[in-house]
Amino acid sequence: MTKVLKHVSNKDIADLAEHLRAGGLVAFPTETVYGLGAHAADRNSVEEIFRIKGRPATDPLIVHVSGVAHALRLVDPQAATVWQTDVLKHLAEEFWPGPLTLIVPADLNRIAFEVTASTGWVGLRQPAHPLAQEFLEACAVPVAAPSANLFGHVSPTCADHVEFDFPDVDKLWIIDGGRCGFGIESTVMRINADKTVDIFRRGGVGPSQISASLLQAGLLTDSVAVRVVEKYFKGNSHGSDVAPGQALVHYAPRMPVFMISRSDGRAPESRPVAHAELKNIVLLDFAGNYKELAPFVGHYRDLSIAGSIDEAVYSLFESLRWAETCGAERHTLWIFDPRNIGHSGNELFLAMQDRIIRSASARALNVCFKPDSDQVYVSAR
């Protein structure tokens, strides 16, 4: 039975750690999103994560650690090069605790093979949330923890989101640590043996920060060795990957979702949207780009009226879950298409853009609205 713990004490933390070591699951807050934790060396516990999330075995789990020294103990000393270990140590010391996951060859004597999605690589991270740090210290074991939500659903940024997705799970305890302070998942980066790095998922630490840090430390001589490799797999037929969050359909509310872009003119293939149909639209905006539509749609929310990227990132997942509460069975969600907003040089905005594209499965509409006629036309893109 799912159990939620509020205002946890030191004794509670000790009990939670013991529960995890004994094979139970513990959902805990991080600065990014809530994680669903299991003992990373316990194959049965790890398999339980995949089972209750409905997560394919091809999608690896991130392992959370209490610090740099703990992370270094989880690296395969035979498979990892000196350079890979040096880069892990350097970046961890600079950016941890924080939203950066570093993928390295895993010591499979300390990490269950299932954690790596059968690749032998593992992503390591030390979260910045104080409750997460206390919990991981008390666990004294590596903790495998993907986001604490059903696979493909919107990531959880509060304990209520976790309980909503898992209301009745045997041996699941949830630490209620309040709202996550950042709001989207960590940057995920693989450290390659050929002295390059691949960023598979954008997050709170940008490629330029990673590149500058490695160049300054003399661990790279050319910034082109830092590559952004964004993948959008359809389904699970691609086989195992070394990084999570690569599916095209991800971070998605349980309702149809489309990214919208403004069209100045009505395209020949466009169709009118009746006012009754507009009342079944939930619209998520940014910086008032579509505020003139607010009186016509059923529900409207702006992620940041002021156009603050930090505020929008913080609000994104909570707002996607809010959209579901408006009536997912009959409503459609329109969300601004970030590719047409004009912040392509901002790395945090690009991280949010990635989540929005996946939440909509890359589906997009052109919307033509003439305020003087009160008529809306849409066409697929």
Q: What is the pLDDT of residue 27?
A: 98
Q: Is residue 25 within 8 Å of 170, Cβ to Cβ?
A: no
Residue 84's nearest CA partner among 62, 67, 106 is 106
Pairing of strands 3-6, 172-176: parallel
How far apart are the C-alpha atoms of 92 and 101, rounded to whole Å? 9
Residue 210's nearest CA partner among 124, 303, 101 is 101
How far apart are the C-alpha atoms of 84 and 371, rounded to whole Å? 57
| Token pair for 269 | 């293939």
User: If you search the block for the tokens 């991080």, which residue do you land on?
Assistant: 30
Residue 36's nearest CA partner among 44, 324, 48, 317 is 48
Q: Please state whether 54 falls in left (phi above 0), alpha (psi between -120 and 50) or beta.
A: left
User: Which helix (DSSP H) or strand (DSSP E) does residue 369 occupy?
Assistant: strand 364-370
At residue 44, the 3 state secondary structure works out as: helix
CA dist 142 → 13, 87, 296 (Å): 16, 20, 51
At residue 123, the 3 state secondary structure works out as: strand
Q: Is residue 246 within 8 Å of 233, Cβ to Cβ?
A: yes
pLDDT per residue over 300-334, tens digit each? 999 999 999 999 999 999 999 999 999 877 899 99
How far apart are the C-alpha atoms of 238 and 172, rounded to whole Å? 31
Per-residue pLDDT of the chain (381 residues; tens, 9 = 90+): 899 999 999 999 999 999 999 999 999 999 999 999 999 999 999 999 999 999 999 999 999 999 999 999 999 999 999 999 999 999 999 999 999 999 999 999 999 999 999 999 999 999 999 999 999 999 999 999 999 999 999 999 999 999 999 999 999 999 999 999 999 999 999 999 999 999 999 999 999 999 999 999 999 999 999 999 987 777 654 566 788 888 888 899 999 999 999 887 777 788 888 889 999 999 999 999 999 999 999 999 999 999 999 999 999 999 999 999 998 778 999 999 999 988 878 999 999 999 999 999 999 999 998 766 678 988 887
Q: Is residue 109 within 8 Å of 78, Cβ to Cβ?
A: no
Q: What is the pLDDT of residue 121?
A: 98
User: Which helix (DSSP H) or strand (DSSP E) does residue 282 occupy?
Assistant: strand 281-285
Residue 299's nearest CA partner among 341, 327, 264 is 327
Cα 266 vs. chain centroid, distance in angstroms?
A: 36
How far apart are the C-alpha atoms of 197 and 218, rounded to whole Å? 14
Q: Which CATH code fits 3-228? A: 3.90.870.10
At residue 41, the 3 state secondary structure works out as: coil
Q: Is the peptide bond before 29 cis (omega within 30 degrees of 0)?
A: no
What ranges do the domains of the chain cover? 3-228, 257-380
